[in-house]
Amino acid sequence: MRQNFEASLKLTLKHEGEWADHPRDPGGATMKGITLATYRRFVPNATKTALRNIAPAMVARIYRLDYWDKVGADRLATGVDLATFDAGVMSGPGRAKKWLAASLGGADHQTVKMLCGKRLGFVRSLAIWRSFGGGWGKRIAAIEARGVAWALAASLPGHEVKAALADEHRAAQAKARTRAAGSGGTGAATAGGGGDLMLNPGHAEQLAGWSIAALLAAGMLVALVFAVRAVLHRQRAAAYRAEIEAMGDA
């Protein structure tokens, strides 16, 4: 919705940070998430120094024109607008709109969760996930929790919103515990030569074509996947807890 732009931008800028010129970031030098190439479309021949000193009004103008307007956020429901906008900033408006289209069909807070899930799946597939995954996971979790809170608050009283957020918090905690248990059990069973993968007769033909090294690698990979998912759900649980605490005695 139109009136949510400033609040959404404030949240996005919190995650974009200030000046950055990371050698592994394909976007190059950025200030408040704005690359030098983007800035030069508005201020031709701008230098890195000029970008580093960009005025707040110009920051808002660029984000509105290049992201908020391009994902059609003025026409989106509260909460959904935030989730789509932030996804567009990080991964491009085109992808954000595709994720939104694939997430529609349920209540607004469910759309937020589905969109953030699709977004997380995409960034986890990127080669630079190993360098930036920790921050990305926290960011997407925070946007999900805030988007869900906004969407629920549009139609529910405060105490019901808080209860719903508490349910999301507990669900995320439960998933984190389950994935953490899987990361230990799966890896240990496979590497140790036991467990279903090694002993189930139905896998005999498959196992015949595998080397011990491959089995060990497969077990470690499965364990790693579970471990990563545990971390991501812990991040979601923490984000929902933060939203609950921010509501105070509502």
Where are the chain's structural domains? 1-155, 156-250
Q: Quick one: average pLDDT of 88-105?
A: 97
3-state secondary structure the chain: CHHHHHHHHHHHHHHHCCEECCCCCCCCCEECCEEHHHHHHHCCCCCHHHHHCCCHHHHHHHHHHHHHCCCCHHHCCCCHHHHHHHHHHHHCHHHHHHHHHHHCCCCHHHHHHHHHHHHHHHHHCCCCHHHHHHHHHHHHHHHHHHHHHHHHHCCCCHHHHHHHHHHHHHHHHHHHHHHHHHHHHHHHHHHCCCCHHHHCHHHHHHHHCCCHHHHHHHHHHHHHHHHHHHHHHHHHHHHHHHHHHHCCCC
Q: pLDDT, tens digit, for every residue of 142-167?
A: 999 999 999 999 999 999 999 999 99
User: pLDDT exceeding 70 applies to what percent of the chain?
Assistant: 80
The predicted pLDDT at position 137 comes to 96
The predicted pLDDT at position 21 comes to 81
pLDDT grade, residue 208 (50/70/90)?
very low
The predicted pLDDT at position 205 comes to 42
Q: Quick one: average pLDDT of 226-235?
A: 86
34: region left, alpha or beta (phi > 0 left; psi from -120 to 50 alpha): beta
Tokens standing for residue 166? 């508490």
pLDDT grade, residue 193 (50/70/90)?
very low
Q: Quick one: average pLDDT of 74-100?
A: 97
pLDDT grade, residue 20 (50/70/90)?
confident
Report d(CA 222, CA 214) in Å as an integer. 12
User: pLDDT exceeding 90 applies to what percent of the chain?
Assistant: 70
Q: pLDDT, tens digit, for every residue of 132-146?
A: 899 999 999 999 999
Report d(CA 64, CA 210) in Å as an integer. 54
pLDDT surpasses 60 at 210: no
pLDDT surpasses 70 at 25: no
pLDDT grade, residue 226 (50/70/90)?
low
Report d(CA 241, CA 246) in Å as an integer. 9
- The predicted model scores a pTM of 0.81
The predicted pLDDT at position 248 comes to 86
pLDDT grade, residue 189 (50/70/90)?
very low
pLDDT grade, residue 203 (50/70/90)?
very low
pLDDT surpasses 80 at 9: yes
* Half-sphere CA count of 110, side-chain side, radius 13 A: 6
pLDDT surpasses 90 at 245: yes
Average pLDDT, the chain: 86
For the 1-155 domain, the top CATH level (class) is mainly alpha
Contacts of residue 143, Cβ cutoff 8 Å, sequence gap at least 6: 11, 15, 82, 83, 86, 87, 116
Contacts of residue 6, Cβ cutoff 8 Å, sequence gap at least 6: 60
pLDDT surpasses 90 at 108: yes
Through-space distance between the first and last CA atoms of the chain, rounded to whole angstroms: 24
